[in-house]
Amino acid sequence: MRARRVADRIARELAILLQREVSDPRLTGLTVTGVEVDRELAFATVYVTAQAPEQELMPALVRARGFLRRELAGRISLRAFPQLKFRWDDSPDRGARVDELLARLKSESPDAE
């Protein structure tokens, strides 16, 4: 339960940081879609997505990781702040693909009028 609260707080604060305080233009338009924190609060896996290609954003996030962790640690009071790991969240793309396939099936069905 505590890990979930910490994860939610990290997601909120990180979204604010990325929107207002990160100067790297590659990270504009980045969306935090979720955060998972392990039980020991040692690692926080941050899921992100954006319109820009993953190949451009992930190196920029890795480069900004120290700054982001330091800023988050100053905003969220924990004895030891978790290490940040970033993962690309492709679920919006998968969801769009499923919607497209369902629409195509519906238009191809004999009952569709």
Q: What's the pLDDT score for residue 36?
A: 95
Q: What's the pLDDT score for residue 94?
A: 62
Q: What is the domain count for the chain?
A: 1
User: Which CATH number does the domain housing residue 40 bear?
Assistant: 3.30.300.20
Q: pTM (2 decimals)?
A: 0.78
Q: What's the pLDDT score for residue 6?
A: 95
Q: Which domain holds residue 21?
A: 2-108
Residue of 25 and 74 predicted with greater confidence: 74
| 94 found inside a domain | yes
Tokens describing residue 83: 């290490």
d(Cα 110, Cα 74) in Å, to the nearest integer? 60
- Residue 50 pairs in a beta bridge with none
Rounded percentage of the chain residues whose pLDDT exceeds 70: 88
Q: What's the pLDDT score for residue 87?
A: 94
